[in-house]
Amino acid sequence: MSFLRNRAGAIIVGVIGFAIVAFLLGDAIQVGTPFWQASQNEVGEVAGETISIQEFNDKVEVNSNNFKQQMGQSNLNAQMTAYVVENTWNQTISQILMDKEIKRLGMQVSKNELNDLITGKNPDPQVVQNFGDPQTGQVNRAQLNSFLDNIKTQDPNSELSKQWTQFLVNIRLNRLSEKYNNLVKNSLYVTSLEAREDYSQRNKLANFKYVSLDYSSIADAEIKLTDEDYKTYYNENKHLFKNPEETRTFEYVVFDANPSKEDSIETKARINKLVTDFRATTNDSLFVSINSDTKTPVSYVRKGQLDPALDSLVFSASSGTLVGPIFSNGTYRLAKVLDVKVGPDSVTASHILINPAAEGGLDKAKVKADSIKNLIQSGASFAELAAKFGTDGSKEKGGELGTFARGAMVPAFEEVVFNGKPGDLKVISTQFGVHVIKINAQKGSSKVAKVALVDKALASSNKTQQEAYGKASAFLSQADNAKSFDEQVKKSGYRKLIAENVNASQASIAGIENPRELVRWAFKSDEGDVSDQVFEMDNKFVIAKLITVSEKGTLALDKVKNQIEPMVRKQVKAKKLKEKLTNALSGVNSIDQLAQKVGKTAVPVQNVVFANPMIPGVAQENKVVGTVFGSKPGKLSPVIEGENGVYVIVLNGFSNPAPLTNAFKQKAQISQGLVQRAPTETFKVLRDKAEIKDNRVKFF
């Protein structure tokens, strides 16, 4: 009590101070993001400019949709998604760095220049692509002018106006990038001296002899490496160990849960049970929807569109035949042939798409579509009505969809255009809305079959999955640290795999199809950590141990010691062999005397050029050939440490090429190579100099 009374004032002041600090901290936490979570919503930072996850996700979504269209797929697998994310990241870096360079240099695109890129004599390639006539390859001026007149009537906040604004932004950015690259290209210059030197390096021939002692002449077992050997090599070659980005290396054990023999028997039994009901059903579409894994719509297909194991059987069967079950690529398939006929290979069509949501319902949209159809039948222009009433991108091309083969459109649309005849006008409904369709032309003819498909993929049963997970869990329970992890691998006989130098955005690892969750764990963990969970990836369960964290920058010796061991051993061998060859050089006057002294033969070499430093029958030896072209005839060289051994050479002489009479042509050839590399090399320099923080591993 006496202690408390004597120090009451100090204690009260301390408590009040602590309360004030706590209050301020609490207020800061409520008002803003705490400093330790400062990058919680940032996917990265480039040259001081932050990239929010929302902004980046928007770009990824756009690029994903474009990639889906290019690949003709509705979904992207893990590898494709990773590819899109990586491309989006590189695009974002490029755009930020290029913007900063362009602003620094004061480059601009004037309003008149932008207008000229749209409507001028030499329009931007994007304008040609979007408004071009496929027949001439030139811009369709009437179509472009019609679109520009239409855009003037649009609300600035409409989707079409936003798309057009982004289109103009892209053209402006492309033009600025072109100006910047031209500025760099125009700064490149090749002198006449450089041209003559390049000509000489490619055409001047050297003839020489050499004596070599191969590194393989000393067995690896004879070399005992010391710490000093490693340090010497490391210090002499530090430039080789610059790590451009942080990487992780980890070991992992995979527990497979692939379908067992029992799973295969069970799946085959399920598909066999469907045969009788499938043959008897009168509603094939409903049957497929209920019983098939992929629920492929019932439609006409041409030969080659089905799985190869099924295709030939279907097209040799008559209408009403049930084919299968056939097992192929991990799936059992049944096919019911509903009709066989000869039909067109492709169709050219146009449409006007009406959006039911904008018309107040499906019935009202159908009424509007019927009215448009009547106008067309009365002589109105299909293209003009498409531009006026259409709601998709085809409206800008008069509703033209171009020419397409079977499988390009949804079944209901395809049914109409392939079964109708040229000139037909049809009104149909699909999941996209109500269509007024005009069949412009049909091309080719071949046998087609209307097929209902039922498939059952061979999948692992719960029992198989649980058995594999049980093994993985049992392993993890005994492997809670690096030492016990290795002990369990050795004890159980499991195969231990290694993923070396994995970067934060890596999308594939040997034996694992979608390793992103595992990679994220690795980048949150410390060296020696064992995963605290069993990672589930498709039909695999994985447990990992983090071995090495390699930070960005020059790697420490201990991080590269195992990696450089072969080179260190070679350097130690080189030291021994150089000493032997140097001693042998003492007192000799010719290459043949040296060869005799070391029990070798002097090897003659003819017609070697500096630009291609290959020694016939050996390999590429840059140092050796470089020494040759820097030597005087008849003089023995010092000992050269090469890639495959140590060498001594003697130059016999050169065969000089004819004098270069036209340096201009040589300069042009060199310049062309420089110009081609300029954009890539320029961006590489900008990227190397920029401070880039990559936080994608937190989100993807």
Q: Please check whether residues 357 and 374 belong to one and the same domain.
A: yes
pLDDT of residue 603: 96
Q: Please check whether residues 238 and 250 belong to one and the same domain.
A: no
What would the pLDDT profile of 426-483 be if each residue is shown by its tens digit? Answer: 999 988 889 999 999 888 888 888 889 999 988 888 899 999 999 999 999 988 888 8
Residue 588 lies in a domain: yes
Q: Please check whether residues 252 and 265 belong to one and the same domain.
A: no
Of 593 and 164, which is predicted with more confidence? 593
In which domain, by residue range, is 424 found?
Answer: 346-443
First to last CA, the chain: 59
CATH, residue 473? 3.10.50
User: How many distinct structural domains can be found in the chain?
Assistant: 5
Q: Please check whether residues 487 and 537 belong to one and the same domain.
A: yes
Residue 43 lies in a domain: no
Task: Please give the mean pLDDT across all residues of the chain.
Answer: 86
Residue 133 lies in a domain: no
Q: Please check whether residues 489 and 530 belong to one and the same domain.
A: yes
Q: Please check whether residues 487 and 527 belong to one and the same domain.
A: yes
Residue 149 lies in a domain: no
Q: Is 26 exposed, middle or buried (0-12, 13-18, 19+ CB in 10 A)?
A: exposed
Do 308 and 424 form a contact (C-beta atoms < 8 A)? no
Least confident of 269-273, 610-614, 630-634: 269-273
What would the pLDDT profile of 573-599 be if each residue is shown by its tens digit? Answer: 999 999 999 999 998 999 999 999 999
Residue 129 lies in a domain: no
What would the pLDDT profile of 627-637 be if each residue is shown by its tens digit? Answer: 999 999 999 99
Tell me the C-alpha distance between 154 and 158, whole Å.
7
Tell me the C-alpha distance between 430 and 414, whole Å.
11
Q: What are phi and psi of 349, to 5 degrees?
A: -145, 165
Tell me the C-alpha distance between 359 and 365, whole Å.
6
pLDDT of residue 9: 46
Q: Is it the case that residue 696 has pLDDT exceeding 90?
A: no
Q: Is it the case that residue 12 has pLDDT exceeding 70?
A: no
CA distances in angstroms from 513 to 254, 542, 676, listed in the order given: 12, 12, 37
Q: Please check whether residues 620 and 564 belong to one and the same domain.
A: yes
The residue-averaged pLDDT of 609-617 equals 92
Q: Please check whether residues 330 and 350 belong to one and the same domain.
A: no
Other beta carbons within 10 angstroms of residue 347's beta carbon come to 26
Q: Please check whether residues 394 and 309 belong to one and the same domain.
A: no
What would the pLDDT profile of 330-377 be if each residue is shown by its tens digit? Answer: 899 999 988 888 888 888 999 999 888 878 888 888 999 999 999 998
Residue 57 lies in a domain: no
List, in sequence order, every residue forming a beta bridge with 317; answer none if it has no partner.
none
Q: Please check whether residues 634 and 546 belong to one and the same domain.
A: no
SS percent in the chain: helix, strand, coil, step 5: 50, 20, 25
Other beta carbons within 10 angstroms of residue 324's beta carbon come to 23
Q: Please check whether residues 576 and 646 belong to one and the same domain.
A: yes
Residue 615 lies in a domain: yes
Share of the chain above pLDDT 70, in %: 93
pLDDT of residue 37: 45
What would the pLDDT profile of 21-42 be if each residue is shown by its tens digit? Answer: 344 444 433 434 433 344 578 8
CA proximity to 324, closest of 283, 292, 286: 292
What pTM was estimated for this model as a whole?
A: 0.63
Tokens linked to 533: 């969970």
What would the pLDDT profile of 209-259 be if each residue is shown by its tens digit? Answer: 999 999 999 999 999 999 999 999 999 999 999 988 889 999 999 999 989
Residue 146 lies in a domain: no
Amino acid at residue number 664: F
Q: Is it the case that residue 316 has pLDDT exceeding 90?
A: no
Q: Please check whether residues 405 and 331 belong to one and the same domain.
A: no
Q: How confident is the model at residue 20 (pLDDT cuts 50, 70, 90)?
A: very low
